[in-house]
Amino acid sequence: MRLSTSPAWEKLQQLAETNSTIHLRELFAGNAHRFKEFSLCHDGILLDFSKQRINSEILTALHQLWNSSDAPDLISGMRNGEEINLTEGRAVLHTALRYSGPKPVMSNGMNVMTDVRRVLVQMEKFCTEVHQGVWRGATGQPIRRIVNIGIGGSDLGPKMAVRALAAHGIPQLRVEFVSNIDASHLLSVLCDCDPATTLFIIASKTFTTQETMQNAVSARAWLVAALGEEAVAKHFVAVSTNLDAVAKFGIDPANSFEFWDWVGGRFSLWSAIGLPLALAVGMGNFRQFLAGGEAMDQHFFSAPVDQNLPLTLALLDIWNTNFLGADTRAMLPYSQSLELLPRFLQQLEMESNGKRIDRHGAVLDYASAPIVWGEAGTNGQHAFYQLIHQGGHLIPCEFLALIEPDVDLPGHHQKLLSHCFAQSEALMTGKTQSEAEAELGHAAAGTSTDRQRVLAVNKTFPGNQPSSTLLLPRLDPYYLGQLVALYEHKVAALGALWNINSFDQFGVELGKQLANRLLPMIEGNAPLSGVDSSTTGLIYACRRPAKR
């Protein structure tokens, strides 16, 4: 049975129609215990979803949608190492990367934990050598700058986490990231680096990713020009499985950190892809990060649906996307340390679930992933909140705040929280025209009646914008691990419900294939054939010298 023809789906469609005119103001006015009824706590994390446009009947129907679907079986298959990534014939075992228990985790008849723990030991040894000055560059100086060269999952996750945990950083080390093949990205980082104290991490599973390898080759040339060919072995390490290519590049295979095909790129932060994070904050903190992820795993796999944080977030996305018709979701962290979280979640959610074909090859007859976007508060308030409040679009919002600040100055954190809570309240309640007129009051004295009316209309806010607020006790490695794993499981649950494969990304591959075909034409090494007139015109325009 297709999801959209299930009784639970049809029930939710009916509920969406019958509740379409009810305002969040009414829901709060009619239920003094709404916050208690529509919030969850786990291990110090609070999820308040009382400002979502749901009631107890809708929530029950969402739980029934999950329980009556094949999704629980797919999640169980993921946990058990089954090849649920069916298009690529792979298991999906990123949870094994943070598992600390004694039981084996099997894939293709092998216990993957043996390799996972071997690489963790290798990472710990390397981080200790760098931090203690045992690993030194070619001139004998200790490493002071780490430059991670990768793209996608080899960049977004570790970059977000290093920024998030800056307050826990090793003082003498600075970690930078280069991903864009645009030369300005690499050069803007290198201009502030000393070759004698810089270590490069080349993060590419196949060691063939075009953007990563071009940046790696240019970084290598920069180093060799300063220190000579022999310096490469002391200033480059790799995170890859292609040891032959690593060796040809000049990196000792002993300094290559392995990860595996059952680790998807956007789920790989827990693996050796997290090496820049381990270097930035220390291996002890990295293990705390793993522990936080494992704690969320245990919660997700064991908590009932009505107490399950990732499932609740997933079901709210289902409601807003498939039944209220929302096309986007704004991710709004009120923490500057989490400023890169929206960008990280864009890849995690949209690359995973931005699919229109189900697991059986049929075209979906419902929407899948919403467009994820956002910015750290309070900056976003002075950019796009106007649109959310008065633009006429349905935009579910997800607020994220810290109970304790990770970096504090007197007077800052309380004001930050006041803005966060005020925005969610304003989006919920809005302001009626009569309230706006009363608020204007004497301030509008002396203006014409028409002018007063125009002012009141412009100061009216529809409200009824759904939002959730996630409160973390603090931003430390453990709770960051919980947060990342929370969204990973939300993504997996959504993909399972929508009956799509969340673990391939063929949409990414198409552009790469076309770029490889066009490159020799742009370089002038191949004739322009089989190319549309627009692309032909663009290539010719780039071949001509620019006029000043």
Which of helix, strand or coil describes residue 199?
A: strand
Bridge partners for 363 per DSSP = 357
DSSP 168: G
Residue 72: which H helix or E strand, with range? Answer: helix 71-79
Answer whether 373's CB lies under 8 Å from 346's CB: yes
Which residue among the candidates 351, 375, 398, 488 is catalytic per the annotation? 351
Backbone φ and ψ of 332, nearest 5°: -130, 85
Answer whether 3's CB lies under 8 Å from 499's CB: yes
Whether 351 sits among the annotated catalytic residues: the reply is yes
Sort strands 110-111 and 145-149 into parallel, antiparallel or unpaired. unpaired
Q: What CA–CA distances, in Å, run from 92 to 204, 393, 399?
A: 19, 36, 29
Nearest-angstrom CA–CA distance, 118 and 524:
48
Exposure string (b/e) for 456-495, b if CB count within 10 Å is 16 or more? beeebbebbbbbbbbbbeebbbbbbbbbbbbbbbbbbbbb
Nearest-angstrom CA–CA distance, 507 and 504:
9
3-class secondary structure for 246-308? HHHHCCCHHHEECCCCCCCHHHCCCCHHHHHHHHHHCHHHHHHHHHHHHHHHHHHHHCCHHHC
N-to-C CA span, the chain: 63
Whether 512 sits among the annotated catalytic residues: the reply is yes
Exposure string (b/e) for 524-535, b if CB count within 10 Å is 16 or more? eeeeeeebeeee
Nearest-angstrom CA–CA distance, 197 and 91:
40
User: Which regions of 427-541 does DSSP assign to beta strands (E)?
Assistant: 467-472
Nearest-angstrom CA–CA distance, 265 and 268:
5
Angle of helix 309-318 relative to helix 56-67, nearest 10 degrees, comes to 100
Which residue among the candidates 125, 248, 393, 512 is catalytic per the annotation? 512
Nearest-angstrom CA–CA distance, 539 and 547:
16
Which residue among the candidates 248, 382, 415, 419 is catalytic per the annotation? 382
Nearest-angstrom CA–CA distance, 232 and 254:
14
Nearest-angstrom CA–CA distance, 161 and 290:
12
Residue 412 corresponds to which tokens in the numbers above? 């800052």
Nearest-angstrom CA–CA distance, 327 and 324:
9
Answer whether 258's CB lies under 8 Å from 162's CB: no
Whether 413 sits among the annotated catalytic residues: the reply is no
Please report, as a single letter, which amino acid is at residue 508.
V
> At CA 350, angle to CA 215 and CA 13, rounded to 5?
175
Residues serving a catalytic function are: 351, 382, 512
